[in-house]
Every structure is written in C-alpha cells, then in structure tokens.
Amino acid sequence: MTMMKKLLTSAVASALMATGAQAAISDNTVKIGYLADMSGTYRDLAGPNGLAALEMAIKDFGGKVNGAKIEVVSADDRNSPDTSSSTVRRWVENDKVDLVAGLVASSVSIAVSKILEENDRLGIVSGSAASSITNEHCTPNHIHYVYDTYPLANGTASAVVKEGGKSWYLLTADYAFGHALEGDVTRVVEANGGEIVGSVRHPFPTQDFSSFILQAQASGADVVGLANAGADTTNAITTASEFGVTQSGQTLAALLLFLTDVHALGAETAQGIQLTTGWYWDMNEETREWSDRFMKETGVRPTMVHAGIYSSTLQYLNAVAATGSDDAQTVRKQMMETPINDMFAKNGRIREDGRMVHDMFLAEVKTPAESRDEWDLYKILRTIPADEAYRPLSESKCKLVNN
C-alpha cells in the first residue's frame, strides 16, 4: 500500500469513527431533566438555584457536546414520589430525556431510580440523603453524588457523643430519609458508648414542632437530635430556642443542616451548632471563585447541593464527550473510571454501587462576632477522609457489589 493510500485509509477511518461517535448521541441532542422541590420545604437548598448551577455547568462546558446540542427541561417534584414518577416516565418515554438531575427528597429518588432502571436512562442524585439509595435501593442507572446519612452520622453524631452527649432523643422526619438517618445515628451513638433513650417521628413537612420539642425536653436526654432537613430543621431549631432547650442544659444536634438553613436562622440563633457538610463555599480560592460567580447569578451563596449539581453535570458532559455517546451504561462506566478533581471534590471517585465518595467536613457555626458578613457562617473543624466517611463496600447490600 502506498503512503498516499495509507493516509487516505487513515483519514476515512477517522471520519467514520467521528461519524459513528456523533451518531451515538441520540437525536443529535443530549437532553437533561432537572427535577427538584421548586416551591416547598427543600426549595432553598436545591430548587431553582440548583437549576441555575446546572445551567452554569452547561455554559462553562460550551453549550454543546461533540457538536450535539444540550437541552434542559425542569419540573417541580412537589416532594411526591407519585408526581415525580409520572414526570420522569413522561420524560424518558416521550421527551427522550437522557439524564435526570437534581433529585432531592429521598422517597422521590428511590421511586425515580426504578423508572430509570426500567428504561435504561441515567440519574444523578445530588440532594437526597438516604444512604439506602446506593445500598438496598442501588441500581446500575443512578449515581449518588453529594452526601448521604452515613457520613452525617459518622461526623456530627460521633463528635457530639465524644464531647459527652451520651443519651439521645431523636426527632425524625417520617419518610425514607429520616428513617435512614435515624438508623445511621443510632448505629454511631451506640458504637461510641451512648444510647437512644427515645424518639418520635413527625409528619413531613411539619410547621408546628411544639409537642415534639416538649417530648424531647421531658425525656431528659443529653442531646436532642434532629433527623430532618430544610424548613423542618429550621422550624424545629426555632421552636427549641423558644422553649429554652439549650438553656436547660440539653444539646441540640442538627444532623443535616444546609448553609441556607443557617443563613435563615442567623448566627445569633445557630451559633455553636456542629454539622457535617460535603462542601463549603469559603474553603479555598477555587471554591470562592465559583461561589462568587454563582452569587452573581442567583443573589445567594451556594449550598453543597448546588455545588454538587454543577460538578456532576460537568462530569456527565465530559463522559459523553469522551465516549461519543449518551447511552446510560456507557456514560456511567466512563464516569466511574474518571477521578473527580474540581472545585467540589479532590480525588473523588464513583464506586460500583453508584456512591460518589469524597472527603466530608465537620463544621461549626460561627458566633456573630466571628462572622465577617451574612454568609461567613462556618469554621471547618476537621476533614473526614472519604474512606472513613462512607459505608464500606464490605457492608454493602447493593446488588452490584460482589462482597
């Protein structure tokens, strides 16, 4: 074969490969559906600003992937598994959505993941907390990205017990997330020599926490643990403050607290509360630079969920670009093989159970005197290494894991 023929053969092969890669992106479009609580209890921690973070990622990526356009649709999940299931089924069956992003309420994520598995589409869970999402409810069609109840318990509950909070009373949101957090906290408290002296499960969502706080006070427990999130947590903390819980000698442990919750409460009310977080906007130059851009877009500082949505969207688009495909299994495999090093996580990785593992952080809410401005709210007490933070695969019940 002459050199010219070799060059022509090589050029034709390259062109065919490029055409094949392009054709592998269905309909020449990568379509992302953003599903989250846009109006209720979890609006601030994800909500419309999570959609803004996703759109920032698409813009930073360049707006197209391998020449294919990127489209976004969005919907309010209303914290309803039924509503969400109906929405996602329509998206994947009629609207050709490739990726479902956002996903906040754990009950919603569990319901949606089943539909994604049935239709072989991909989901990235950024807002849900239940560790069961990548344990007994794992599928080959979703990734759990930002945090879950296992490191929340390992961080906050472990720290509080070691500081002397031996007896606990738990206020638990009565659905999948609350149940998972209650179980993980119980495990950590008892493993560290403490005990759960009582608990009560409250409806989700709840406006009036008076009766629940009174029961917690009456228990005489050292610690009142709040196994809830969003507006439920801020309502419970406000009620506890009004009833003098901490003044009477009990410790209040918020087991899942977001930056937006602390901002809403104010440093005066929230000061001294310890919490576990997967990310904080003021950790380094890289987090501050991105957070400044986010604040220009939205008017607020980002939560760890907003940051995780941005990061996971870029990871997804990079995987589509690298493989030339929007096929769920092809993209998931590429994401699992690619270390995550960006403004959200360093040396993060996606395991076979779908859990993205990365360092977590134990933080404490600053006093008003320590805060420079209204969003300068945390001081990081320690880093919880990824392998210490998350459930080890040796304890996994996930069907994808060979123990």
138-174: string of b/e by CB count within 10 Å (b at 16+)? Answer: bbbbbbbbbbbbbbbbbbbbbbbbeeebbbbbbbbbe
- DSSP per-residue codes, 346-357: SSBEE-TTSBEE
Q: Residue 9: its pLDDT value, please?
A: 38
| Percent over 70 (pLDDT), the chain | 94
24-42: string of b/e by CB count within 10 Å (b at 16+)? Answer: bbeeeebbbbbbbbbebbb
Domains of the chain by range and CATH? Answer: 9-147+283-358 (3.40.50.2300), 150-277+360-389 (3.40.50.2300)
| Percent over 90 (pLDDT), the chain | 88
Q: Which of 232, 234, 284, 255 is nearest to 147 (CA)?
A: 255
Tokens (6 digits) for 149? 């109840």
Q: Per residue in 145-155, pLDDT tens? A: 999 999 999 89
Average pLDDT, the chain: 93
Q: Residue 403: its pLDDT value, please?
A: 63
Q: Residue 246: its pLDDT value, please?
A: 84
Distance CA 86, CA 94 (A): 12
Q: Per residue in 357-392, pLDDT tens? A: 999 999 999 999 999 999 999 999 999 999 999 999
Q: Per residue in 192-225, pLDDT tens? A: 999 999 999 999 999 999 999 999 999 999 999 9
Confidence of residue 333 (pLDDT cuts 50, 70, 90): very high
Distance CA 175, CA 28 (A): 40
Beta bridge partners of 379: 364
Residue 123 DSSP label: E
Q: Residue 274: its pLDDT value, please?
A: 86
Residue 135 burial (10 A CB sphere; 0-12, 13-18, 19+): buried
* Cis bond before residue 302 (omega within 30° of 0): no
Residue 235: other Cβ atoms inside 10 A: 18
Q: What is the mean pLDDT of residues 301-329?
A: 98
Look at residue 21 and tell me whether its pLDDT is greater than 80.
no
Pairing of strands 122-125, 99-102: parallel
Confidence of residue 248 (pLDDT cuts 50, 70, 90): confident
Look at residue 290 and tell me whether its pLDDT is greater than 90.
yes
Confidence of residue 63 (pLDDT cuts 50, 70, 90): very high
Q: What is the mean pLDDT of residues 236-243?
A: 93
Pairing of strands 349-350, 356-357: antiparallel
Look at residue 18 and tell me whether its pLDDT is greater than 60.
no
Q: Which of 345, 338, 342 is nearest to 361 (CA)?
A: 345
- Spell out the alpha helix ranges (H) of 67-175: 81-93, 106-119, 149-152, 158-162
Look at residue 11 and tell me whether its pLDDT is greater than 90.
no
What is this structure's pTM? 0.90
Distance CA 334, CA 281 (A): 28
In Å, how far are 23, 71, 191 from 314, measured between CA atoms?
21, 14, 38
Q: Per residue in 184-193, pLDDT tens? A: 999 999 999 9
Look at residue 35 and tell me whether its pLDDT is greater than 90.
yes
Beta bridge partners of 101: 34
Q: What is the mean pLDDT of residues 246-255?
A: 89
- φ, ψ of residue 149 to 5 degrees: the values are -70, -25
Q: Which residues contact 207 (CB under 8 A, 6 or more apart)?
A: 235
Distance CA 114, CA 15 (A): 38
Residue 229: other Cβ atoms inside 10 A: 30
Q: Residue 402: its pLDDT value, please?
A: 84
207-211, 270-274, 332-336: segment of lowest average pLDDT: 270-274
Alpha-carbon Rg for the chain in angstroms = 22
Q: Residue 13: its pLDDT value, please?
A: 39
Q: What is the mean pLDDT of residues 43-67?
A: 97
Distance CA 78, CA 81 (A): 9
Q: Which residues contact 271 (CB under 8 A, 6 or more apart)?
A: 365, 366, 367, 368
Distance CA 27, CA 69 (A): 10
Residue 177 DSSP label: H
- Spell out the alpha helix ranges (H) of 129-209: 149-152, 158-162, 176-191
Q: Residue 247: its pLDDT value, please?
A: 85
Q: Which of 218, 209, 130, 204 is nearest to 169 (CA)?
A: 218
Q: What is the mean pLDDT of residues 313-337?
A: 98
Q: What residue ranges in 41-138 does DSSP mark as E strands?
A: 64-65, 68-76, 99-102, 122-125
Q: What is the mean pLDDT of residues 23-39?
A: 93
Look at residue 103 and tell me whether its pLDDT is greater than 60.
yes
